[in-house]
Amino acid sequence: MRYDNERGKGDHRHVGEREEDYQFRTLERLLEDFRRDVDKLEATMKAIIEVARRGSVFQSAAQQLADARKGRTPDFRLSFESARSLFAELTPARLDLLDTLRRVGPCSIYALAKAAERNYSNVHTDVSRLEELGLIERSEEGEVSVPFAAVEILVPLAQSA
């Protein structure tokens, strides 16, 4: 997402490779429109968590770039080498925490622990790990949030001979 004022073209914005006319009014309005556009993008973004072979990260990155160029919101991808390692990191308690946080919206870890009806220390540990994995974001004010509308977990089964 990019807003632009180019000589000969006038005010416009870029969404992926697509250009749209934009009517500049005030700086405040521009910032409001930009924030709304970013919120819209985040509302449609999903996290795809998968078991994938080594080296598949390059294929995923190429797909994300292609999607972005077409104006589609690129999804966040997180890969693990095995189902065992995926579910060691994304325990049922951590997945429930993501769901609770998405439902209540940005909040403190203390408020999240209350909403999830869990011990603060355990929630703090889980939030820290989910933040390291990129599944939770922390604001400058210390509030945590989930920037995704959905999480998909893909575990391919072995191919038959």
Residues 94, 18: Cα–Cα separation, whole Å: 37
Residues 11, 24: Cα–Cα separation, whole Å: 6
Give the whole-number percent of the chain exceeding pLDDT 70.
78
Quick check: is 89 in a domain? no
Quick check: is 145 in a domain? no
Quick check: is 30 in a domain? yes
Residue 58 makes CB contacts below 8 A (sequence gap 6+) with none
Q: What is the pLDDT of residues 143-160, one digit of tens each?
A: 999 988 889 998 888 765
Rg (CA), the chain: 19
Residues 156, 52: Cα–Cα separation, whole Å: 8
Quick check: is 91 in a domain? no
Q: What is the pLDDT of residues 82-93, one digit of tens each?
A: 899 999 999 999
Domain extent, residue 8, equals 1-42
Residue 113 CB-density burial (10 A; 0-12 exposed, 13-18 middle, 19+ buried): buried
Which region among 38-47, 75-84, 85-94, 119-128 has the lowest average model confidence (pLDDT)?
A: 38-47
Quick check: is 13 in a domain? yes
Quick check: is 86 in a domain? no
Quick check: is 37 in a domain? yes
How many domains, in total, are found in the chain? 1
Contact 57/79 with Cβ under 8 angstroms?
yes
In this structure, the number of other CB atoms found within 10 A of the CB of residue 111 comes to: 16
Q: Report the 3 state secondary structure along 61-76.
A: HHHHHHHHHCCCCCCE
pLDDT band for position 76 (50/70/90)? Answer: confident
pLDDT at 39 over 70: no
Quick check: is 146 in a domain? no
The residue ranking higher by pLDDT, 71 or 152, is: 152
pTM attached to this predicted model:
0.65
